[in-house]
Chain A
């Protein structure tokens, strides 16, 4: 084990003594470095926040302009000195603006990857491998049963349903930040060019993505006032995970309830959620991506946080790697 690590777990989050900051703290702190804008990583009330421009923008959209007393935007790869530590932000490939944070102090390099994925995603910058002594990895899908299929195949399932039952509509549940935009973009890439209707809460985020140059095509609010019921026939509606479960989705004609998530790999999960059309689309790494990333980076140590830590630590042991679970509290399985 590395002696005197420059990051240590505390109840608030990962603490860097050299720079006197927390990474993704779950409570309000003086100085926070934030990997990405998902709500379990990005919380309001900190005095100073350092994050990428896009993460700061999204936090403002979700929490209001005054989510922090002071903010600072990090450029990709820019070395920033904080106390005795130097930090830099590198794309994590998770959602728009998501970053890994590289921290160097006392001759040690630790990379906090936050949430990440390795496969191509046109809605955010691709993961960049960063050499390090300690790699802190997530383990949301850290079991060998999780292997995400090709996103295009999953999107084809939606188009198949629409082709087969043109009188029906497909209501896709998707996390409002990242997943929704990725699904829309994948539909567009697959050639679907009709207007896509959105749950109201998603409109600002989608508009922001579009302002960042990510083409999402014709998006419209999915309010019944804005269109007659029949207008949704053969259409795609994107709703939040909670909205698709309640009566919101019943306003659409004979909806096929779909859900875009890595959890959809497990049949019973889909069934329990009342999902007719599971779409295995995830913004997290699957088992192969997690293990391949560890092998590729070849760090001295692997620290495992939120998710199935035990299995990934076991895998490391089987491959003669030093690994330990971080046991951080407060990071949920995102509504992924």
Chain B
């Protein structure tokens, strides 16, 4: 403690930068571990112990002398910690505990314990040590030296021992070092190897996407983006580093223990960003399980072997952050993607695959992809600029998510029209309607939207047959389909949103509607009322 408090005082009083450097380097040379490490942490601001309140110490000091004498003294000295340090009556002088002991004891202590310890130490310390202790214990320790200078002092300290290490090299490994920096000092003294520049398998902040505003669609340069499905699983980061494997949630929580099967398969050096899903391997590819399958694996601290077999966890990789020894986050996505494909090719195909890149010629095609995903766990599409670096947080511009919304309504098929291309032989474009009121009270159907997607080929054939069998009228290419209160075809229609529209008779316009389900089982009078739909207007 004493050597440290002398350093603290000397740093305050030494004006020149070189003088400060010498002082700090000299301290590192003289002080043992872990004292010098904690002193280093104090300089760099990495030591934060607020074990005792300054006001508490003030009143204890005032009690020991006299409140008025304390006040007069404080008035004269000007600094609370210094006043306490100078005025505290020492009962005896014992050897002061070393800095390391003080720091470690205080960080373990409860508040009442800490107060007791601090007062005992104050009783036996000399004023300089008391000052350092008060500053340390109240969390107000400032050494008046920059972190950069501390690292230069480390380099100077090493050089004095014949170890030539550049400041930049120290700065590079610095983020992974923690007080009291034993490995760092061992390296600087030539006793140890260079400490790892990173804590093994650290979490790296996840890159997130902004929701795509629909007005931005028109101006979106779609060609600049890589398009992928947006999965509704668990976004994870799988890191394997020098034998240490960690699976992190997107907030950085370590969830490795819940997914031992996936962790066991993380036989690589690197860091993957991806979606954790349940997936069965059929020998060629992964078939992704449903949301309820995934739910079996969520919120479990440990998992039974049967569960592991029945609901195996897999990772659908989106991105590669670290490729072997290389942090590749600064590379453009297009390059990372090439590396990702190569990286994933070496992994267990029963546990890992790569999120496929989708193609959409234009916004309409993109909208259709989004509206018509091939799996129930897909909640939309992702758009990522091919030139985007992997950045922490949610930067505006490089990544967008365009989620499909879960609004649905039951509507009745009213008109049908022939499709195009391979669907040209079928009635595949549909207009559907909702009731203005209860049909028994005179309510009629008014069209609320059109859809030409969302169904399987099988379903298309069934609808086409229904249209042909129940056409009640024709207007050019359009067939009017029979739709009464008790007879007709009900669709569960999903759509992204609803706009008020003066151009439509219903007063509303759906955005990206699609046929979610066929409800042959449902009588048309049970379809939704227009009023229900209008409630969804924002």
Q: Are B9 and A145 in contact (CB under 8 A)?
A: no
With A145-B76, A276-B19, A311-B69 already in contact, 5 other A-B pairs whose C-beta atoms are closer than 8 Å: A145-B86, A145-B87, A265-B86, A267-B82, A268-B78
Residues 289-327 of chain A: 1 if any B CB is under 8 Å from the residue's CB, otherwise 0?
A: 000000000000000000010110011001000000000
Q: Is A278 in contact with chain B by the CB < 8 A criterion?
A: yes
- Write the chain B residue with the least CB distance to A149: B126
Stretch at the interface among B10-18, B165-173, B196-204: B10-18
In the complex, how many angstroms separate the beta carbon of A92 from the nearest chain B beta carbon?
25
| Chain A residues within 8 Å of B82, by CB | 266-268
Between-chain CB contacts (< 8 Å), 16 pairs: A143-B69, A143-B72, A143-B73, A145-B76, A145-B87, A146-B86, A147-B86, A164-B26, A266-B82, A267-B131, A268-B82, A276-B10, A276-B19, A311-B69, A314-B72, A318-B66
Q: Is A5 in contact with chain B by the CB < 8 A criterion?
A: no
Residue of B65, B72, B126 touching A308 (CB-CB under 8 A): B72
A315 and B70 CA atoms in complex are apart in Å by 11
Q: Is B68 in contact with chain A by the CB < 8 A criterion?
A: yes
| Chain B residues within 8 Å of A275, by CB | 13
Residue of A147, A265, A271 touching B12 (CB-CB under 8 A): A271
| Chain B residues within 8 Å of A145, by CB | 73, 76-77, 83, 86-87
In the complex, how many angstroms separate the beta carbon of B17 from the nearest chain A beta carbon?
13
Q: Is A83 in contact with chain B by the CB < 8 A criterion?
A: no
| Chain A residues within 8 Å of B72, by CB | 143, 308, 310-311, 314
Q: Is B79 in contact with chain A by the CB < 8 A criterion?
A: yes
Q: Are B65 and A267 in contact (CB under 8 A)?
A: no
In the complex, how many angstroms separate the beta carbon of B277 from the nearest chain A beta carbon?
62
In the complex, how many angstroms separate the beta carbon of B114 from the nearest chain A beta carbon?
25
Q: With A311-B69, A318-B66 given, is the CB distance from A143 to B13 under 8 Å?
A: no
Q: Is A270 in contact with chain B by the CB < 8 A criterion?
A: yes
A308 and B75 CA atoms in complex are apart in Å by 12
Interface residues of B in 122-152 (CB under 8 A from A): 126-127, 131
Q: Are B79 and A144 in contact (CB under 8 A)?
A: no
| Chain B residues within 8 Å of A204, by CB | none
Closest 6 CB pairs of A and B: A145-B86, A145-B73, A311-B72, A143-B73, A276-B13, A145-B87
Q: With A145-B86, A276-B15, A318-B66 given, is the CB distance from A268 to B73 under 8 Å?
A: no
A275 and B78 CA atoms in complex are apart in Å by 18
Q: Are A315 and B69 in contact (CB under 8 A)?
A: yes
In the complex, how many angstroms separate the beta carbon of A147 from the nearest chain B beta carbon?
8
Q: Are B69 and A144 in contact (CB under 8 A)?
A: yes
Interface residues of B in 72-109 (CB under 8 A from A): 72-73, 76-79, 82-83, 86-87
Q: Are A144 and B15 in contact (CB under 8 A)?
A: no
Question: For this complex, into which size category does the number of interface residues on chain B fall?
Answer: 20 to 34
Q: With A267-B9, A311-B73, A314-B72 given, is the CB distance from A274 to B86 under 8 Å?
A: no
A146 and B69 CA atoms in complex are apart in Å by 12
Residue of B14, B19, B65, B78 touching A144 (CB-CB under 8 A): B65
A311 and B73 CA atoms in complex are apart in Å by 8
| Chain A residues within 8 Å of B65, by CB | 144
Interface residues of A in 76-102 (CB under 8 A from B): none
Residues 106-122 of chain A: 1 if any B CB is under 8 Å from the residue's CB, otherwise 0?
A: 00000000000000000
Number of A residues whose C-beta is below 8 Å from B?
24
Q: Are B73 and A270 in contact (CB under 8 A)?
A: no
- Write the chain A residue with the least CB distance to B83: A145
Q: Give the interface centre of A149, A267, A276 by most chain B CB atoms within 10 Å.
A: A267
Interface residues of A in 253-280 (CB under 8 A from B): 265-268, 270-271, 274-278
| Chain A residues within 8 Å of B126, by CB | 149
Q: With A144-B87, A268-B78 given, is the CB distance from A314 to B14 under 8 Å?
A: no
Residue of B13, B68, B83 touching A277 (CB-CB under 8 A): B13
Residues 47-82 of chain B: 1 if any A CB is under 8 Å from the residue's CB, otherwise 0?
A: 000000000000000000110110011001111001
A318 and B13 CA atoms in complex are apart in Å by 37
| Chain B residues within 8 Å of A147, by CB | 86, 127
A147 and B93 CA atoms in complex are apart in Å by 15
| Chain B residues within 8 Å of A318, by CB | 66
Q: Are A144 and B13 in contact (CB under 8 A)?
A: no
Residues 489-502 of chain B: 1 if any A CB is under 8 Å from the residue's CB, otherwise 0?
A: 00000000000000
Q: Give the interface centre of A266, A274, A275 by most chain B CB atoms within 10 Å.
A: A266
Q: Are A270 and B13 in contact (CB under 8 A)?
A: yes
- Write the chain A residue with the least CB distance to B84: A145
A318 and B68 CA atoms in complex are apart in Å by 10
Residues 179-200 of chain A: 1 if any B CB is under 8 Å from the residue's CB, otherwise 0?
A: 0000000000000000000000
Q: Are B13 and A271 in contact (CB under 8 A)?
A: yes
A278 and B10 CA atoms in complex are apart in Å by 10
Q: Are B87 and A268 in contact (CB under 8 A)?
A: no
In the complex, how many angstroms separate the beta carbon of B353 from the nearest chain A beta carbon?
65
A278 and B14 CA atoms in complex are apart in Å by 11
| Chain B residues within 8 Å of A268, by CB | 77-79, 82
Q: Are A274 and B87 in contact (CB under 8 A)?
A: no
- Write the chain A residue with the least CB distance to B85: A145
Q: Give the interface centre of A143, A275, A277, A314 by most chain B CB atoms within 10 Å.
A: A143
